[in-house]
Structure 1
Amino acid sequence: MPNAGPAPSDTRLSSGPLAVGALVLDGRFRVTSLLGGGGMGMVYRGEQVSLGRPVALKVLREDLSQQAGMAERFRREALLLSAVDSPSVVRIIDFGVHEGLLCLVMELIEGRTLELALREGPFAPARALQVLEQLARGLAVIHAQGIVHRDLKPENVLLCDTPAGETARLLDFGIARFADQSAPGSGVTQAGLVLGTPEYLSPEQAMGQGPASQSDLYSLGVLAYRMLSGRLPFSGSGPGELIAQHVHAAPTPLLEVAPALSSEPALAALVMQCLEKDPASRPQGAAVLADAFAALRGRATGVGTLELPVASPVKATGALQRFTTGAQTALASPARRLQAGALAAVVLLGGLGLAWRASSPERRARALLEAGRGGEALQRIDDAGDEGKDPTLMQLRAAALHQVNRHDEELELFARVPTTGPLEPLSVHALADDYGRRESAAARRALTSWPKAVVLKQLQALANESPDKGQWGALRLVDQEWAGQGLDLVSLYATALEQSDCQVRRTAARRLSELPAAGALKALRALKDTPKKKGGGFFSDDDCGQDAAAAAMRKLEKELPP
């Protein structure tokens, strides 16, 4: 692989294989500093050369990089993760090999690890629930891609301050799963060949069984136990003893080590259920667990109604009850029986409360749509029977129709929504997604018929989010309808050159040729120099924007001053 050549000796990082200033992955990224390292490799701060964007470069250890089949398996994992779109998951930008070392490029997130935050003491229930719900939602997204984390621990969780409050981001997905268990430092203990961190290992991991998504839920339970109590459920004197305890010992009930949680018996019981030895007795899926945390979070933050995404009040009671399936066998001590009884009372009262104080159809539909459950949201709105009269429900129904791919009905319904009230963000994203996939007059008219003061701000915010079809559609609409008002068009179109959609690349390249800015040349050159696919068959698209980028460069080089 080409690189920047030998670096001066005074820029060599003594603790890692890369030098400050080195260009990696065919010159697309530059190393700027060392961030840290661990058992799997080193992490560097870097810069994407074409955009000047800061990134994180994870470089796998040399012996791991050279294992047979590792490059292909690492590449497949990177491709899977690049398709993950979740605010709780750090985004993958690129992957490749530099001088025999496997490199993964990720977005650089500023924040501090959960490990550092926990050194200040246990979290209050409301704060813990917010973080735990976000982590469970992130796990649900990666599990849907067939990825198991296998090393969930506080060091792999980043806490960031955002306008929406504290946000948790998951790091280091799936890398440990590829380590050769016979390699030095791979986690061999006297209890067997295992991968992961002993304090957070699931029983099945400890016994060397194949990974499954339920293992991550156990590790999340250990993490939750520590967040709420300030201590771990097991405290063996070494890795071997810790692993044996995960397999054979019952953890001390959370309410015994954290009496302050006596007002949160349902939360304590849910955490204990995550620590069940039998995976089948744990919450059945990360999405289910996230919904449970969301329900409990509503109570902890003073919201009177449990926001459980279920079809009826009767099922709402069952939703929380299934979180404690098998609890009678696990809660053997009197304290555990008391905890289970308290949970049963809370569940019963919560279910009755839902029957009499069901949340508004708008809130329930919105929660379902945000979870990607458009079919259920559509049913919820139709059951309410008011969607033809309530402008908000009409917009939410249009968003639900979008999620179930009934786009003609979506556009027809949205065209009937009065444009004098609030504009629902979920509907804006749905229509922008439509426009991003096909620049139809109907989708454009549906949004631009609203007052500029109402719609423009939402489209501007969407255009500045992570790239997807909705972001692209918002960018195109603001550019075409309002001359890109409030947007850095050069930067946004340059970023679009990195998308996998060849038509998006071509459109972005042509638009950059009309924006005489020297900053566009770097991004265009990076795309132009990207090798075209060869031998892809009759339906292959050998040119994926490279020709448009080359044409845009020629035009700009003529127009820009030397």
Structure 2
Amino acid sequence: MTKLSPDAFYELPAHLRGQLLAFWGKAQKAADTSSGFSGEIVFLDNGCGVFPRLTCAKFPRWRKELSPAIRAERFLREIKLQAAAHYHPNVHWPFDVVLILGVPIAFFRRWEGDLSDFIEDPHWGDLGRISLIIQLTAGLAHCHARGLVHQDLKPQNVFVRDLQSSFSLPPTDLWLRPLVADFGSVNLAADVGEFTGSRPYMAPEQWHKAELGEWTSVFVLGIMLHEIMSRGVHPTGERSSDWHHQNNPGFNRWQQNKRWRRWVGEGCPIAQPLPEHDLADLVAACLAPSPADRPSLREVQAALLHLLHHRSPTAGQQVNLFLGVAESQSAAEEWQYLKGRVEGLERAINDHYSQNTEDSSPDLSA
């Protein structure tokens, strides 16, 4: 019998790989694809009349310097951490996992985009923007309560759900829901001494290789609050569109370590503070170079709720209602179905690679 190549899954033509994932995902067909630093995504269409219609399959990105076993182990680690965050409506989670030809696959619901797709939207008003950040603090607080420190928090790793795409709702700016996503970098500093993230969103303690925690998320939240409320201007004063859309030469400039080390060394100055003094002061507090000088996530949330109530009592009440519902829905216990599926995936990976003992101990730091 012919032995399959260890990379048989990746050697399939893209259209056949899409068909295979659609079959396992019980979808009608594969649609478009996307890729990130460590993962590949195939978007799946379940067909008209099915809800949710769109889902996606994520799998490890092929990297020649990594063995198939190490790629699988790293991906399993990410999925286990993400499953540990279940459940909060502001956190993204998989609904199923499988092993196909030695490659772990996670299936997720597809949302309406990520935060970078909405930052410059001229139709999205201030009330909706403040509302989204408030909800994001709730999702991050949920993760930190479970010991999960996201080291690559950025707009691209915050998915956005538009409730108006699923329900008939009054026309307001308040229906966008953020979901913390992409757990591949979670706890890497504590686990393997790896502190990196995406350079424009790295906190000073990441550059200094100091302890990371909730204060690290607060720093990034300050950057994103400034960027969202300014419609796309990073606190350094430069528009972030080239970064988000990977347009060169701007994108390459944003990748240079020295410019961000210099900004951190100067004390993270804000080139163009937001015109609203209350928001500008909150951003400045979040960007304090010393973690001890930053507010907590709950303090950021309380400050933003106060600002929102001042601007619109109705909007404030709506967001309070959502936070209350989210709190009541957040499950303290694990989702036993997902836990069982992840445990099954771990067994399948161990069984599949049990003969390759050299690959059985993953190096998560590369």
Normalised to the residue count of structure 2, the TM-score between the two structures is 0.66
One-letter identity of the residue aligned with 1:296: L
Compared CA separation, residues 370 and 41, structure 1 to 2 (3 A): closer
Give 1:290's match in structure 2, choosing from 273, 287, 301: 301
Within 5 Å, which residues of 2 pair with 1:306-345?
A: none
Match of 1:33, SS state, is: strand
Q: Deviations over 1:308-353 (max 9, x none)?
A: xxxxxxxxxxxxxxxxxxxxxxxxxxxxxxxxxxxxxxxxxxxxxx
User: Percent same amino acid among aligned pairs?
Assistant: 20
Q: Which residue of 1 aligns with 2:41?
A: 43
Alpha-carbon offset, residue 224 of structure 1? 0.9
Report the residue type matching 2:215 in the other structure: Q
Point out the more displaced range, 223-232 or 235-244: 235-244
Amino acid at match of 2:303: A
* Aligned partner of residue 235 in structure 2, secondary structure: coil
- Superposed, 1:200-219 pairs within 5 Å as 200-219=201-220
Among 259, 279, 296, the residue aligned to 2:291:
279
**1:202 to partner: Cα distance:** 0.7
Q: How much has 1:79 moved relative to structure 2?
A: 2.8
Q: 1:105 aligns with which of 104, 107, 117?
A: 107
- Among 158, 172, 197, the alignment partner of 2:181 is 172
1:500 alignment counterpart: 336
Question: SS of the residue aligned with 1:21?
Answer: helix
Post-superposition Cα deviations, 1:477-501, rounded to whole Å, max 9, x if no partner, equal xxxxxxxxxxxxxxxxxxxxxx737
The amino acid across from 1:67 in the alignment is I
> Aligned pair 1:196/2:197, yes or no?
yes
Matches within 5 A, 1:147-162: 147-162=148-163
Shift of 1:37: 0.7
Query: Aligned in 2, Cα 1:141/1:61: closer, same or farther, shift over 3 Å?
Result: same
**8 Å Cα contact 2:148/2:187 also seen in 1:** no
Q: Cα offset for 1:253? A: 4.1
Name the CA distance, whole Å, in 1 between partners of 2:110 and 2:118: 19
The correspondence for 1:268, drawn from 280, 289, 293, is 280
| Aligned partner of residue 118 in structure 1, secondary structure | coil
**Larger CA Rg, structure 1 vs 2:** 1
> Structure 1, unaligned stretches of length 5 or more?
181-191, 308-362, 373-402, 404-428, 430-465, 470-498, 503-525, 534-562
C-alpha displacement of 1:148: 1.8
Q: In the alignment, is residue 224 of structure 1 matched against residue 225 of structure 2?
A: yes
- The aligned runs of 1:2-21 (5 Å cut-off) are 12-13=13-14, 19-21=17-19
| Count of residues in correspondence between the two structures | 299
1:123–1:227 Cα contact (<8 Å) kept: no
Q: Label 1:267 to 1:60 Cα distance change in 2 as closer, same or farther (>3 A).
A: same
C-alpha RMSD of the superposition: 4.4
Q: Match of 2:70?
A: 67
Post-superposition CA distance 1:396-415 (Å, at most 9, x none): xxxxxxx8xxxxxxxxxxxx
The Cα of 1:150 is off from its aligned counterpart by 1.7
User: What secondary structure does 2:336 align onto?
Assistant: coil
Report the Cα offset of residue 257 of structure 1: 4.2
The DSSP-based 3-state class of the residue aligned with 1:102 is strand
What is the deviation of 1:274?
Answer: 0.8
Q: Rate the CA distance shift 1:207–1:102 in 2: closer, same or farther, 3 A.
A: farther
CA 144–173 in structure 1, closer or farther in 2 if over 3 Å, else same: farther
Aligned pairs for 1:141-540 (under 5 A) are 141-163=142-164, 165-177=174-186, 194-229=195-230, 230-234=232-236, 238-253=255-270, 256-258=272-274, 261=275, 264-284=276-296, 286-302=297-313, 370=325, 372=327, 500=336
Do 2:159 and 2:181's aligned partners in 1 also have CA atoms closer than 8 Å? no
Pairwise CA distance, 1:71:
5.2
Task: Tell me the secondary structure at the aligned position of residue 92 of structure 2.
Answer: coil
Amino acid at match of 1:56: C
CA contact (8 A) 1:44 1:58 kept: yes
SS in 2 for 1:67: helix
Cα displacement (A) at 1:232? 1.0
User: CA 1:222–1:366 in structure 2 vs 1: closer, same or farther (change >3 Å)?
Assistant: closer
TM-score, normalisation: structure 1: 0.45
Do 1:29 and 1:47's aligned partners in 2 also have CA atoms closer than 8 Å?
A: no
Deviation string 1:242-272 (CA, Å, 9 cap, x unpaired) is: 3313431234447x444xx2xx322211111
Counterpart Cα distance in 2 of 1:97 and 1:13 = 18
Secondary structure at the counterpart of residue 112 of structure 1: coil
- 1:205 CA displacement: 1.4
SS at match of 2:161: strand
Residue 21 of structure 1 and its aligned partner are, at CA, apart by 0.9
Distance 1:246 1:146, change over 3 A: farther
- Residue 92 of structure 2 aligns with which residue? 90
Q: Please report how far the alpha carbon of residue 117 of structure 1 lies from its aligned counterpart in structure 2 after TM superposition.
A: 2.4
2-structure distance, mates of 1:80, 1:170: 15
1:132-170, CA deviations, whole angstroms, 9 ceiling, x for partnerless residues?
A: 111111111111221122222222233333246431322
Preserved contact between residue 203 and residue 219 of structure 2 (Cα < 8 Å) = yes
What SS does the aligned partner of 1:215 have?
A: helix
SS at structure 2 position matched to 1:293: helix
Task: Give the aligned partner of residue 551 of structure 1.
Answer: none
Moved over 6 A (4+): 365-368
How far, CA to CA, are the matches of 2:128 and 2:94 in structure 1?
Answer: 27
**1:368 to 1:193, Cα distance in 2 relative to 1, 3 A:** closer
Structure 1 position 126, deviation (Å): 2.3
Structure 2 CA distance for partners of 1:253 and 1:79, relative to 1, 3 Å: closer
Return 5+ residue gaps in structure 2 as ranges.
239-252, 348-366
Contact 1:124 1:228 survives alignment (8 Å): no
- Superposed CA deviations along residues 97-149 of structure 1, whole A, max 9, x for unmatched, are 3333332221221x233223224469754232112111111111111221122
Question: Equivalents in 2 of 1:371, 1:98: separation in Å?
Answer: 35
Q: Deviations over 1:378-403 (max 9, x none)?
A: xxxxxxxxxxxxxxxxxxxxxxxxx8
Q: Distance in 2 between matches of 1:123 and 1:71?
A: 35
| Residue aligning to 1:57 | 57
Residue in 1 that maps onto 2:83 = 79
